Structure 1
Amino acid sequence: MSDQDERKPIRPPAADPKREIGRTITEAVVELVPGGNVLTGLYRTTHPPKAEQDREAWQEAISDRTNEHSERLDQHEKLLAPKQTV
């Protein structure tokens, strides 16, 4: 078996409520300070929440696997129903 035959299942990202609550509270406290909303906006842009990072990685893995499956289906189709041009 090759490495491709031993693929691990792609699991959707799991939520981490404690982390999300902690980040929300921290951002809310910082936004109480005048101009704090600018800082939290910059922070969200430069350091997106872990859930968002995990979701993006998951979407990338799904896209890669889907593209790989499409290539395999194309290969199978060429083997099973070859086209001839005259």
Structure 2
Amino acid sequence: MNGLSELIDSLEIKFFKLNQKLVQLEKKNKELLEKIKVSEDIQEQQAVEIAELKDNVANLKMINSLLGSEENKRETKLKINSLIREIDYCIAQLSD
């Protein structure tokens, strides 16, 4: 019986240690999930900021070309022509 008692005590100690380890791992998992959420939020904010900055760059290129910059004149002319075609299309649709 003494051996059985020692075996049970040993199993109880191992179970207790495993339970503690489980609690620690669950806590660590929760912390990591929170970090992932924060990282995802930051990534979304950065994606929005990148999109805004790209728009700003495009607008600045347009402004530079309108101010006489030779670099982006072709792009500006193409954009203006595209806008004129869209306006003409809208006028044609309204005329019908």
TM-score of the aligned structures, taking structure 1 as reference length: 0.41
The structure richer in helix per residue is 2
Highest Rg: 1 or 2?
A: 2
TM-score of the aligned structures, taking structure 2 as reference length: 0.38
**Structure having greater relative contact order (Cα 8 Å, sep ≥ 6):** 1
